[in-house]
């Protein structure tokens, strides 16, 4: 039996996507499959993850496995990173109503000279991939330099796609690959976790929330908040390793957590909000540093909502901490000896003027003096305290 593998990609291209595609290709190699179809529907993604996927496809092709791309179902698109992945395949089929192209990188605040260098580099890479697979390299280059996109019919007419298909199985048949069964590879917990940690905003929020939980636990010692807070920060550190972080972004994250913890000493919630804001600034700089990110507003909106929610939550928590701090400051100390003034007790030994004896006050024994003679066992009241010595008299 010769199976064929189908790897479904229906999300932004990130480290989770790269992981599931790489594992799917390896599984196909191990099983002796002759063909693998990557079913694409994506708006784009991270450059590093795109490179990982293309490298894995190239390695599989060298081992004799034909890697095909099916842009589908109807309405799907292969923009940006998706176009690079498609161009690196042996065969491209597209369903009706699908689109491919639009691969101009998003470069944020990159210097203009650096911007031109990156854009030209990506355009040359796209052109090379097209040439290696006998496709229209001129149009492929325009995907990057001009942001050009083409429909499925145009892609076939202009030499980008190889045919029309309505399913991965039809794509395999068109490419002349025989198979006895189809194995579908989908996202799992591991790839989902990697995708979750590939978002710079999520990583920054994990850091901020971890700091807030540790701060909260300092006021309500339960160890649970600290344990959870440390766990979130460890997850964030792993995410930072996945994304890659420059010193400025790392410094902002560290400063953000430190500022959050300063809320313990003073502030009215402002320091907590400032700390979360610094971690979000780190996320923004990380996003603008990446030369290749998703373009769809609907994909970015949840991150913005999370950011605003974190800022509001930090303000509420900081204000709550301030109220607790004020209440603690106004509450008298439970072991303050001054609280004994006015309390009554009994002498354990005889007290003489200018002498020192022992009295029992509030179930504890204290050294005490009196301005009069007081016999042992008499009732006395505390009038003052000097250090740890009580002044008493008869009531």
- Give me the half-sphere count of Cα atoms (radius 13 Å) on the Cβ side of residue 319: 6
Please tell me the distance from the alpha carbon of residue 318 to that of residue 308, in angstroms, as a whole number. 15
Please tell me the distance from the alpha carbon of residue 67 to that of residue 330, in angstroms, as a whole number. 71
Taking 90 as the threshold, does the pLDDT of residue 151 lie above it? yes
Q: DSSP characters for 40-95?
A: E-BS-B-HHHHHHHHHHHHHHHHTT-EEEEEE-STT-EEETHHHHHHHTSSEEEE-
Q: Where residue 129 falls among pLDDT bands split at 50, 70, 90?
A: very high
**Strand, helix or coil for residue 195:** helix
Omega cis (within 30) before 73: yes
pLDDT at 6: 96
pLDDT at 79: 93
pLDDT at 110: 56
Q: What's the mean pLDDT in 278-305? A: 53
Mean pLDDT of the chain: 80
Taking 80 as the threshold, does the pLDDT of residue 17 lie above it? yes
Q: Are 17 and 49 in contact (CB under 8 A)?
A: yes
**pTM of the entire structure?**
0.66
Q: Where residue 291 falls among pLDDT bands split at 50, 70, 90?
A: very low
Residue scoring higher pLDDT (390 or 239): 390
Of 84-98, 103-117, 154-168, 267-281, least confident by mean pLDDT is: 267-281
pLDDT at 48: 84
Taking 90 as the threshold, does the pLDDT of residue 100 lie above it? yes
Taking 50 as the threshold, does the pLDDT of residue 297 lie above it? no
The per-residue pLDDT for range 199-250, each reduced to its tens digit, is 766 777 777 777 767 766 666 666 676 677 777 777 776 666 665 556 666 6
The per-residue pLDDT for range 256-289, each reduced to its tens digit, is 767 766 666 665 666 666 776 777 666 666 555 5
Question: Which residues make beta-bridge pairs with 66?
Answer: 35
Q: How many separate helices (H) and strands (E) can be counted in the chain?
A: 13, 14
Query: Vertex 83, ends 5 and 50: CA angle to 5°?
Result: 70
Q: Are 42 and 77 in contact (CB under 8 A)?
A: yes
> Could you give the dihedral angle defined by the CA atoms of residues 61, 65, 66 and 68, in that order, rounded to the nearest 10 degrees?
-90
pLDDT at 69: 97
6 contacts: CB under 8 Å, gap ≥ 6: 36, 37, 39, 168, 182, 183, 184, 185
pLDDT at 104: 84
Q: Where are the alpha helices (DSSP H) in 136-269?
A: 137-145, 152-157, 168-174, 189-196, 200-219, 224-243, 247-262
Q: What's the mean pLDDT in 322-332? A: 57
CA dist 174 to 28, 157, 167, Å? 19, 17, 11
pLDDT at 293: 42
Q: Are 144 and 122 in contact (CB under 8 A)?
A: yes
Please tell me the distance from the alpha carbon of residue 280 to that of residue 284, in angstroms, as a whole number. 6
Taking 70 as the threshold, does the pLDDT of residue 311 lie above it? no
331 contacts: CB under 8 Å, gap ≥ 6: none
Of 31-40, 109-118, 162-171, 212-221, least confident by mean pLDDT is: 212-221
């Amino acid at each position: 039996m010769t199976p064929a593998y189908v790897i479904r990609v229906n999300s932004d291209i990130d480290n989770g996507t790269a992981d599931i595609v790489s594992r799917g290709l390896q599984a196909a190699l191990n099983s002796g499959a002759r063909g693998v179809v990557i079913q694409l529907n994506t708006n784009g993604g991270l450059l590093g993850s795109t490179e990982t996927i293309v490298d894995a496809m190239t390695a599989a092709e060298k081992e004799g496995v034909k890697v095909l791309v099916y842009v589908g179902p109807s309405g799907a698109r292969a923009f940006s990173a998706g176009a690079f992945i498609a161009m690196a395949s042996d065969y491209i089929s597209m369903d009706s109503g699908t689109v491919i192209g639009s691969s101009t990188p998003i470069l944020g605040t990159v210097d203009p000279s650096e911007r031109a260098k990156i854009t030209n580099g990506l355009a040359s890479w796209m052109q090379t991939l097209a040439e290696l697979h006998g496709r229209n390299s001129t149009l492929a280059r325009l995907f990057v330099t001009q942001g050009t996109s083409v429909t499925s019919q145009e892609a076939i007419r202009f030499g980008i796609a190889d045919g029309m298909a309505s399913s991965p199985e039809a794509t395999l048949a068109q490419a002349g690959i025989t198979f006895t069964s189809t194995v579908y590879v989908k996202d799992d917990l591991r790839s989902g976790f990697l995708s979750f940690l590939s978002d710079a905003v999520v990583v920054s929020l994990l850091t901020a929330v971890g700091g807030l939980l540790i701060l909260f636990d300092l006021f309500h010692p339960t160890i649970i908040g600290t344990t959870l807070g440390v766990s979130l920060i460890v997850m964030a550190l792993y995410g930072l390793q996945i994304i890659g972080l420059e010193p400025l972004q790392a410094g902002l994250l560290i400063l953000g957590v430190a500022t959050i913890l300063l809320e313990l000493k003073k502030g009215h919630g402002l320091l907590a909000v400032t700390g979360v804001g610094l971690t979000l600034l780190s996320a923004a700089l990380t996003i603008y540093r990446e030369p290749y990110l998703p373009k769809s507003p609907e994909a970015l909106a949840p991150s913005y909502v999370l950011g605003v929610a974190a800022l509001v939550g930090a303000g509420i928590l900081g204000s709550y901490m301030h109220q607790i701090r004020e209440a603690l400051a106004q509450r008298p100390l439970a072991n303050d000896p001054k609280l004994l003034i006015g309390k009554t007790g009994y002498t354990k030994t005889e007290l003489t003027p200018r002498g020192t004896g022992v009295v029992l006050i509030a179930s504890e024994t204290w050294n005490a003096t009196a301005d009069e003679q007081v016999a042992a066992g008499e009732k006395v009241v505390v009038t003052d305290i000097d250090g740890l010595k009580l002044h008493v008299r008869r009531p």
